[in-house]
Amino acid sequence: MYYVVTGAAGFIGSNLVKALNERGVTGILAVDDLEQGGKSANLADCKVAESIHKDEFVKKLEAGAYQGSLAAILHQGACSDTTNPDRRYMMENNCRYSERLLDCCAGGKVPFIYASSAAVYGAGREFREAPECEAPLNVYGESKLLFDQRVRQRRKGQTAQVVGLRYFNVYGVRESHKGRMASVACHFFNQYRESGRVRLFTGSGGYGDGEQRRDFVSVEDCVKVNLYFLDHPGKSGIFNTGTGAAQSFNDVAAAAVNACRKARGEAPLTLDAMRGRGIIQYIAFPEDLRGKYQSYTQADISALREAGYDEPFLTVEQGVARYCQKLLQRVPA
């Protein structure tokens, strides 16, 4: 039996492949857009049975090539560029492709765990898995919400497990290929290592400089949630995947700076001290993001807890420190 991971060479996908390997699972079909070679390094230390292009995979799946041989599909593949305005491309990649996989899983009663996004909530103040809370600000969010709606419409006739995970702001190892779309934790680490300075946006949405707040969640925790549902095939639904606690961009920056300082044997600094020394600086909020920016997100994880997931989530201070330590293992301190 094979486990399928789509977006396998990407950020969350490659972390899932590695986690499955750590369980002793190597019968993995690694599905991705193989034309994007820059992220292939993410799988260099992983073991898979086969790497296959996403278009070839879905054609073979629909043709019945894997009938009776799939243990589950962990669908992490998508166009994750939230600034991409190409609606046709976004809908084809994030909605229609997902529908084709879902159809095959339903027919073969194969568990299907897929990546949704907190982008479906837009600028709302309530982040609960309910239609009245959903108002995406961009095409990416629209594409994710449209597929969630398809899943809801089919819920009554569903016989196989279907789980949607609405990821909030994920950070962690194996994301460097994302470039400008990498997490702020990644950018802050790189900025500090290169220049000794970290740049944040000035205030927006009623928040002070660097005080915009997001639910920053470690990829380690996202992987654990995926594996929890993989281990509990009787549980289905759409679930927020965040810590349940919003923290500021200033918190992320301070955690990254202090992790680097600790590696050099230097004492930690307070946020005020970092500002005073010019380590944390603020740049003008981009005009092109006004009206399209989530200044606040905080996952309501009640449904996730009710589904039985009771593991604690890493705070920004814990998770960013762990992330930076792993980065520093490959980059001299």
- Distance of alpha carbon 151 from alpha carbon 83, whole angstroms: 25
- Distance of alpha carbon 167 from alpha carbon 297, whole angstroms: 11
Tell me which residue of 221, 223, 236, 213 sits closest to 303, measured CA to CA: 236
Sign of CA dihedral 128, 132, 134, 135: negative
Active site includes 207?
A: no
- Distance of alpha carbon 29 from alpha carbon 130, whole angstroms: 33
- Distance of alpha carbon 206 from alpha carbon 88, whole angstroms: 34
Strands (E), 43-197: 50-53, 70-75, 112-117, 162-167, 169-171
Burial 227-243 (b: 16+ CB within 10 A, else e): bbbbeebeebbbbbbbb
Q: Annotated catalytic residue: which of 3, 140, 171, 228?
A: 140
Radius of gyration of the chain (CA): 20
Q: What is the DSSP string of 31-80?
A: EE-TT-GGGGGGGTT---SEEEEHHHHHHHHHTTTTTT-EEEEEE-----
- Distance of alpha carbon 137 from alpha carbon 124, whole angstroms: 10
- Distance of alpha carbon 59 from alpha carbon 100, whole angstroms: 9
- Distance of alpha carbon 140 from alpha carbon 135, whole angstroms: 12
End-to-end CA distance of the chain: 43
Residue reference for tokens 């939230």: 82
Active site includes 296?
A: no
Q: Annotated catalytic residue: which of 18, 47, 178, 224?
A: 178
Where in the sequence numbering do the catalytic residues fall? 140, 178
